[in-house]
Protein backbone atom coordinates (compact mmCIF):
# COMPACT_ATOMS: atom_id res chain seq x y z
CA UNK A 1 0.00 0.00 0.00
CA UNK A 2 1.46 3.41 -0.95
CA UNK A 3 2.54 5.70 1.85
CA UNK A 4 0.71 8.95 2.54
CA UNK A 5 3.67 10.87 1.14
CA UNK A 6 3.47 8.95 -2.14
CA UNK A 7 -0.27 9.53 -2.43
CA UNK A 8 0.20 13.24 -1.74
CA UNK A 9 3.04 13.42 -4.25
CA UNK A 10 0.93 11.76 -6.95
CA UNK A 11 -2.13 13.89 -6.34
CA UNK A 12 -0.17 17.14 -6.29
CA UNK A 13 1.67 16.32 -9.52
CA UNK A 14 -1.10 14.70 -11.54
CA UNK A 15 -4.39 15.75 -9.94
CA UNK A 16 -6.71 17.98 -11.97
CA UNK A 17 -8.91 19.76 -9.43
CA UNK A 18 -8.68 23.54 -9.17
CA UNK A 19 -7.44 23.38 -5.57
CA UNK A 20 -4.67 20.91 -6.35
CA UNK A 21 -3.48 22.87 -9.38
CA UNK A 22 -3.58 26.10 -7.37
CA UNK A 23 -1.55 24.62 -4.51
CA UNK A 24 1.10 23.15 -6.82
CA UNK A 25 3.44 20.27 -6.05
CA UNK A 26 3.68 19.05 -2.48
CA UNK A 27 7.36 19.70 -1.87
CA UNK A 28 7.40 18.14 1.59
CA UNK A 29 5.82 14.89 0.39
CA UNK A 30 8.22 14.66 -2.56
CA UNK A 31 11.28 15.21 -0.41
CA UNK A 32 10.05 12.60 2.09
CA UNK A 33 9.90 9.82 -0.52
CA UNK A 34 12.37 7.01 0.10
CA UNK A 35 13.62 3.84 -1.56
CA UNK A 36 11.31 2.13 -4.06
CA UNK A 37 8.67 4.84 -3.77
CA UNK A 38 11.20 7.51 -4.70
CA UNK A 39 12.28 5.43 -7.72
CA UNK A 40 8.66 4.87 -8.75
CA UNK A 41 7.89 8.57 -8.44
CA UNK A 42 10.87 9.46 -10.62
CA UNK A 43 9.79 6.86 -13.21
CA UNK A 44 6.22 8.20 -13.34
CA UNK A 45 7.43 11.79 -13.66
CA UNK A 46 9.85 10.98 -16.47
CA UNK A 47 7.14 9.06 -18.33
CA UNK A 48 4.75 11.99 -17.99
CA UNK A 49 7.00 14.55 -19.72
CA UNK A 50 5.40 15.71 -22.95
CA UNK A 51 2.13 13.86 -22.30
CA UNK A 52 -1.29 15.10 -21.20
CA UNK A 53 -0.16 14.49 -17.60
CA UNK A 54 2.55 17.13 -18.03
CA UNK A 55 0.50 20.10 -16.81
CA UNK A 56 1.56 23.40 -15.24
CA UNK A 57 5.23 22.31 -15.13
CA UNK A 58 4.45 20.11 -12.13
CA UNK A 59 6.47 17.06 -13.29
CA UNK A 60 9.38 19.37 -14.10
CA UNK A 61 9.29 20.93 -10.64
CA UNK A 62 9.06 17.51 -8.96
CA UNK A 63 11.99 16.09 -10.96
CA UNK A 64 14.07 19.05 -9.89
CA UNK A 65 13.18 18.49 -6.25
CA UNK A 66 14.14 14.82 -6.61
CA UNK A 67 17.48 15.85 -8.17
CA UNK A 68 16.78 13.35 -10.95
CA UNK A 69 19.89 12.75 -13.04
CA UNK A 70 17.76 10.87 -15.56
CA UNK A 71 15.80 14.06 -16.18
CA UNK A 72 18.77 16.19 -17.25
CA UNK A 73 18.73 15.45 -20.99
CA UNK A 74 14.92 15.55 -21.39
CA UNK A 75 14.83 18.86 -19.51
CA UNK A 76 17.60 20.35 -21.65
CA UNK A 77 15.65 19.33 -24.76
CA UNK A 78 12.54 20.91 -23.27
CA UNK A 79 14.42 24.11 -22.49
CA UNK A 80 15.18 24.61 -26.18
CA UNK A 81 11.51 25.32 -26.94
CA UNK A 82 10.01 26.17 -23.53
CA UNK A 83 8.67 29.65 -22.86
CA UNK A 84 7.20 31.64 -20.01
CA UNK A 85 6.74 29.96 -16.65
CA UNK A 86 7.62 26.54 -18.03
CA UNK A 87 11.00 27.88 -19.20
CA UNK A 88 11.64 29.32 -15.75
CA UNK A 89 10.72 26.09 -13.95
CA UNK A 90 12.76 23.96 -16.36
CA UNK A 91 15.83 26.14 -15.80
CA UNK A 92 15.32 25.95 -12.03
CA UNK A 93 14.96 22.17 -12.13
CA UNK A 94 18.24 21.85 -14.04
CA UNK A 95 19.91 24.16 -11.53
CA UNK A 96 18.68 22.02 -8.66
CA UNK A 97 19.89 18.83 -10.33
CA UNK A 98 23.29 19.88 -11.65
CA UNK A 99 23.79 23.61 -10.93
CA UNK A 100 23.13 24.28 -14.61
CA UNK A 101 25.28 27.37 -15.34
CA UNK A 102 22.83 29.08 -17.72
CA UNK A 103 19.81 28.75 -15.43
CA UNK A 104 20.21 32.04 -13.59
CA UNK A 105 20.52 34.09 -16.78
CA UNK A 106 17.55 32.31 -18.35
CA UNK A 107 15.30 33.28 -15.44
CA UNK A 108 16.58 36.87 -15.39
CA UNK A 109 15.96 37.14 -19.14
CA UNK A 110 12.39 35.90 -18.65
CA UNK A 111 11.92 38.66 -16.08
CA UNK A 112 13.30 41.39 -18.32
CA UNK A 113 11.89 40.43 -21.72
CA UNK A 114 9.44 43.01 -23.03
CA UNK A 115 6.90 40.39 -24.09
CA UNK A 116 6.84 38.57 -20.73
CA UNK A 117 3.38 38.55 -19.17
CA UNK A 118 2.64 39.38 -15.56
CA UNK A 119 2.56 35.78 -14.34
CA UNK A 120 5.88 34.98 -16.02
CA UNK A 121 7.54 37.99 -14.39
CA UNK A 122 6.00 37.15 -11.03
CA UNK A 123 7.27 33.57 -11.31
CA UNK A 124 10.78 34.78 -12.15
CA UNK A 125 10.80 37.08 -9.12
CA UNK A 126 9.71 34.21 -6.88
CA UNK A 127 12.34 31.83 -8.28
CA UNK A 128 15.40 34.09 -8.37
CA UNK A 129 16.26 33.77 -4.64
CA UNK A 130 16.90 30.06 -5.30
CA UNK A 131 20.14 31.06 -7.06
CA UNK A 132 21.53 32.85 -4.03
CA UNK A 133 22.72 36.41 -3.49
CA UNK A 134 24.65 36.76 -6.71
CA UNK A 135 25.20 40.29 -8.02
CA UNK A 136 23.09 39.52 -11.11
CA UNK A 137 20.12 38.23 -9.10
CA UNK A 138 20.22 41.10 -6.63
CA UNK A 139 20.52 43.71 -9.38
CA UNK A 140 17.60 42.22 -11.31
CA UNK A 141 15.39 42.25 -8.21
CA UNK A 142 16.42 45.80 -7.28
CA UNK A 143 15.44 47.03 -10.73
CA UNK A 144 12.02 45.43 -10.44
CA UNK A 145 11.55 46.63 -6.85
CA UNK A 146 11.50 50.18 -8.23
CA UNK A 147 8.18 49.37 -9.95
CA UNK A 148 5.29 50.51 -7.79
CA UNK A 149 3.05 47.56 -8.59
CA UNK A 150 2.43 43.93 -7.58
CA UNK A 151 5.61 42.70 -9.27
CA UNK A 152 7.64 45.38 -7.50
CA UNK A 153 6.08 44.29 -4.20
CA UNK A 154 7.01 40.66 -4.91
CA UNK A 155 10.58 41.65 -5.77
CA UNK A 156 10.83 43.50 -2.46
CA UNK A 157 9.55 40.43 -0.63
CA UNK A 158 12.08 38.20 -2.41
CA UNK A 159 14.92 40.54 -1.48
CA UNK A 160 13.76 40.61 2.13
CA UNK A 161 13.82 36.81 2.21
CA UNK A 162 17.35 36.82 0.81
CA UNK A 163 18.56 39.36 3.38
CA UNK A 164 16.48 38.10 6.30
CA UNK A 165 19.59 37.80 8.51
CA UNK A 166 20.73 41.37 7.75
CA UNK A 167 18.66 43.45 10.17
CA UNK A 168 19.18 46.93 8.64
CA UNK A 169 18.33 45.68 5.13
CA UNK A 170 15.45 43.54 6.39
CA UNK A 171 13.89 46.45 8.26
CA UNK A 172 14.25 48.88 5.38
CA UNK A 173 12.66 46.44 2.94
CA UNK A 174 9.90 45.91 5.49
CA UNK A 175 9.22 49.65 5.39
CA UNK A 176 8.78 49.44 1.62
CA UNK A 177 6.36 46.52 1.96
CA UNK A 178 4.34 48.39 4.61
CA UNK A 179 4.67 51.82 3.00
CA UNK A 180 1.54 53.90 3.56
CA UNK A 181 0.30 56.26 0.88
CA UNK A 182 -1.07 58.95 3.20
CA UNK A 183 0.92 61.86 1.83
CA UNK A 184 -0.66 64.18 4.42
CA UNK A 185 0.82 62.24 7.34
CA UNK A 186 3.73 64.06 9.02
CA UNK A 187 5.62 60.76 9.08
CA UNK A 188 5.10 60.04 5.38
CA UNK A 189 8.17 58.91 3.46
CA UNK A 190 7.67 58.20 -0.23
CA UNK A 191 8.19 54.67 -1.53
CA UNK A 192 10.67 56.06 -4.04
CA UNK A 193 12.86 57.36 -1.22
CA UNK A 194 12.75 54.05 0.66
CA UNK A 195 13.63 52.17 -2.54
CA UNK A 196 16.59 54.47 -3.16
CA UNK A 197 17.85 53.94 0.41
CA UNK A 198 17.43 50.16 0.15
CA UNK A 199 19.18 50.01 -3.21
CA UNK A 200 22.16 51.94 -1.86
CA UNK A 201 22.33 49.85 1.32
CA UNK A 202 22.09 46.52 -0.50
CA UNK A 203 24.75 47.74 -2.92
CA UNK A 204 27.19 47.79 -0.01
CA UNK A 205 26.37 44.14 0.78
CA UNK A 206 26.89 42.62 -2.65
CA UNK A 207 30.09 42.54 -4.63
CA UNK A 208 29.81 43.70 -8.22
Q: For residues 99 and 91, what is the distance between their CA atoms, to the nearest angstrom?
A: 10
What residues make up the domain containing 43? 1-100
| Contact predicate 60/75, CB 8 Å | yes
| Contact predicate 27/9, CB 8 Å | no
- pLDDT for 64 equals 98
Are 113 and 49 in a shared domain? no
Are 79 and 115 in a shared domain? no
Are 91 and 124 in a shared domain? no
| Contact predicate 83/30, CB 8 Å | no
- pLDDT for 179 equals 72
- pLDDT for 185 equals 59
Low-confidence ranges of the chain (pLDDT < 50): none
Are 2 and 95 in a shared domain? yes
- pLDDT for 109 equals 97
Q: How many domains does the chain have?
A: 2
- pLDDT for 190 equals 85
Helix (H) or strand (E) holding 18: helix 18-23
Are 72 and 155 in a shared domain? no
Question: pLDDT tens digits, residue range 109-151?
Answer: 999 998 899 999 999 999 999 999 999 999 999 999 999 999 9
Are 205 and 121 in a shared domain? yes
Amino acid sequence: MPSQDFEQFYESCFGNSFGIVRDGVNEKAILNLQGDERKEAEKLLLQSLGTDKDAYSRPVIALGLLRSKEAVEPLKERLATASGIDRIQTALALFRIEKYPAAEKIVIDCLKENNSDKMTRWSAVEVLPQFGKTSQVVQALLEVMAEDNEIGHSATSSLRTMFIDDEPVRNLLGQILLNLHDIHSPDFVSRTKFVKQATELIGTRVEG
